Chain A
């Protein structure tokens, strides 16, 4: 089965609203990264997390290694937030290898 399961797979938001994306892990994740792939294909690193939370502008992410999940909260969604969000986990027994989720496709409408 999927080692990193992302939900939802697709999401449509009105500009100005809030939402949360989630990743559940069936591996012993030690660090988590969140990426945004924009419509042109560029992958941008949003967060690199050890267990805990981080905030950057309208984005906030949390990683709970004991409960094996991570969340990405988007506040006051803007048109430029549209794209595909990927989470990726590093696990102790997999060394450097990141296991990627299948992504959440987000569309922000005006």
Chain B
């Protein structure tokens, strides 16, 4: 499967823990996005990378959320320290970029913070 791969599929954390979510974009895609999805807020953009450079670091999410892209085929989203309100589905997506922003999503990581 050459789509967007996210691990783990589920994560349970205690309040105050550090968790790291992982994403592998579609091979050859230049743009990578991290979103958070909740029933109340819907889809919220956390971070955006273009050709590995951080273009958007999420505004309100800056203080405890840090996304990194060490190479073109791997990105991480660290949440430190976790809080119960962080419980959500975290979605990674990629697109070709260069005037083609068609977005492809991974299956997501469902995070539960106790």
Which B residues touch A40, using CB under 8 A? Answer: 107
Q: Which residue of A lies closest to B97 (CB)?
A: A96
Contact A45 B45 (CB under 8 A): no
Q: Chain B residue with minimal CB distance to A98?
A: B103
A96 and B108: CB pair below 8 A? no
Measured CA separation A102–B102 after assembly (Å) = 19
How many residues of chain A get a CB closer than 8 Å to chain B's CBs?
19
Are B42 and A103 in contact, CB atoms less than 8 angstroms apart? Answer: yes
- Distance, CA A44 to CA B89, complexed state (A): 15
Judged by a CB distance under 8 angstroms, whether A81 is at the interface is no
Q: CB-CB < 8 A to B20: which residues of A?
A: none
Contacts of B103 in A (CB 8 A): 33, 35, 45, 88, 98
CB of A96 within 8 A of CB of B50, answer yes
Q: How large is the interface on B (under 10, 10 to 19, 20 to 34, 35 or more residues)?
A: 20 to 34
Task: List B contacts of A43 (CB < 8 A).
Answer: 91, 93, 105, 108
Residues of A within 8 A of B104 (CB): 45
| Interface assignment of A41: CB less than 8 Å from any CB of chain B | yes
CB pair B42–A90 under 8 Å, yes or no, is no
Select one of A41, A97, A98 contacting B107, CB under 8 A: A41
Q: Is B43 on the interface with A (CB-CB < 8 A)?
A: yes
Instruction: List the A side residues contacting B31 at CB < 8 Å.
Output: 96
User: Whole-angstrom distance between the alpha carbons of A40 and B107 in the complex?
Assistant: 9
Q: For A42, what are the chain B residues with a Cβ–Cβ distance below 8 Å? A: 105, 107-108
Provide the bound-state CA to CA distance between A33 and B101, in Å.
9
Task: Show the binding face of A for B, using Cβ within 8 Å.
Answer: 31, 33, 35, 40-45, 48, 86, 88, 90, 96-98, 100, 102-103
Could you pull out 15 A-B pairs where Cβ atoms are within 8 angstroms? A31-B101, A41-B89, A41-B108, A42-B105, A42-B108, A43-B91, A43-B105, A45-B103, A45-B104, A48-B101, A88-B103, A97-B45, A97-B48, A98-B103, A100-B43
